[in-house]
Amino acid sequence: MTIRRTKIVATLGPASSNPEVIEQLILAGMDVARLNFSHGEADDHRERARLVRELSAKHGRFVAIMGDLQGPKIRIARFREGSVTLSAGQPFTLSNSHPPEEGDSSIVGIDYPSLVQDCKPGDELLLDDGRVVLVVDAVEEHAVHTTVTVGGPLSNNKGINRRGGGISAPSLTDKDKEDIKLAAELQMDYVAVSFPRYGSDIQQARKLVQEAGSKAWIVAKIERAEAVADDRALDAIIKVSDAVMVARGDLGVEVGDARLVGIQKRIIQHARTLNKLVITATQMMESMVSSPMPTRAEVSDVANAVLDYTDAVMLSAESASGNYPVQAVTAMARVCLGAEQEPTTTRSGHRLGETFNRCDETIALASMYAANHFPGVKAIISLTESGHTPLIMSRIRSGVPIYCYTRHPGTQRRAAMFRGVYTVPFDAAKIDPAAVSDHAIEKLTERGLLKKGDWVILTKGDFYSNSGGTNGMKILKVR
């Protein structure tokens, strides 16, 4: 049986809120359920989280839940008629004093007053994910006067980006701070922070998450030009995060679509080198909002991320509001499995020639080297408290499955995001130390994942209650 290594994040929404659909998503391969705080009420998220937990337990699956914070809303206000059509060459004004419901084809209000301080003549502003482009001619105290360079239809509440970045809105809003409390209440496994520009934005989010009593890991959504201005800026955000998301919508608008693929590859590489998780997101199978089959280009996009060794690929509108949410997860799973058949996905030169900083990191990387060079090894078992050791292991390209043996429900769910890692509930502290290895191997033989004569690598610490205490590796033969 071939086990899929790349994990799938699926956004839940109106199309995927009833128990039947959520159950089908879990059975089709959803590893992480994303709850988007930009939409829906708190009670909607409570019910979806409850259903995910209940239905994944029913099927013996471990599904993590990620709460995605909305972040600052940098948007135009509304039009008197609901929408307008702008033509190239015409003047158009963005005003923070214009009545919010009274926009027309010459002027519209904005809900972000600081835009006038963030802009200067010559800047390019991109509206509605770059579908409409404006060039700034002049800036006054309450208005930005522009000329349309790329026209088209424009409707209410569309987003505003500045080419090259430079929007100064704080990453965390008052709404985000309330949603962090909701994430803590629901014991979410991950909290995603929108529009961070600097590592300090992530540190502030982590402080708020911890103060709310949550142990959620922090996902930095890389979607600002400042965040990828150079390797130093990127690494500063990655290092203080637990995971990063290549959020290609706003990022593509700010850096330009021509640079996006190269930047995506750089983010994935840097995240893995720095021992962090990485999610590739946005429009991966967008056509499946209205079609039961993906396009060839979408298949290539997902496969390309898999070959770059992303931990997870993500569905947004496809599973949240599309007509074919279950088919989208099924298609994504199929493409991931197909791409993983390529030999390059199991060959690694990761960190060869580098020194390691921690004992558990050294054991983890040594285990993967052994697994990749000893053909008889069929499984790696990591006895872990926090999940850190299997996380480090999963940074290495390998075809050998890594099993995260842990007693902690939070770690059991969290590991659902790790590429090539699979959870096995296991409390080593309740077993005679001399019998722990045999019991661990039995768990996999009972499931038909190991047979007599197979080799197994097992890592553990001297004590089963210390996080970061992995200091031993054994190579065992199944008897």
Q: Are 171 and 191 in contact (CB under 8 A)?
A: no
SS (H, E, C) 1-59: CCCCCCEEEEEECHHHCCHHHHHHHHHHCCCEEEEECCCCCHHHHHHHHHHHHHHHHHC
Residue with tokens 């982590």: 206
Closest to 134 measured CA to CA, from 163, 100, 164, 155: 163
For every residue of 319-355, DSSP letters joined together read HHTSS-HHHHHHHHHHHHHHHTTSGGGG---TTTT--
For the chain, how many residues are written? 479
SS (H, E, C) 415-453: HHHCCCEEEEECCHHHCCHHHHHHHHHHHHHHCCCCCCC
- Catalytic residue flag (residue 34): yes
Which two three-digit tokens encode residue 113?
């007053």
| Catalytic annotation, pick one of 4, 53, 75, 259 | 75
Q: Are 319 and 329 in contact (CB under 8 A)?
A: yes
Cβ-proximal residues to 49 (8 Å cutoff; 6+ apart), any chain: 33, 35, 65, 186, 188
Residue with tokens 């285990």: 367
| Catalytic annotation, pick one of 5, 7, 221, 276 | 221
By the 10 Å C-beta count (0-12 exposed, 13-18 middle, 19+ buried), 451 is classed as exposed
- Catalytic residue flag (residue 75): yes
DSSP-derived 3-state class of residue 169: coil
* DSSP secondary structure code for residue 191 in this structure: E
| Catalytic annotation, pick one of 5, 7, 34, 395 | 34
| Catalytic annotation, pick one of 6, 11, 146, 282 | 282
Cβ-proximal residues to 445 (8 Å cutoff; 6+ apart), any chain: 451, 478
Which two three-digit tokens encode residue 11?
């956004």
Catalytic residue ranges: 34, 75, 221, 282
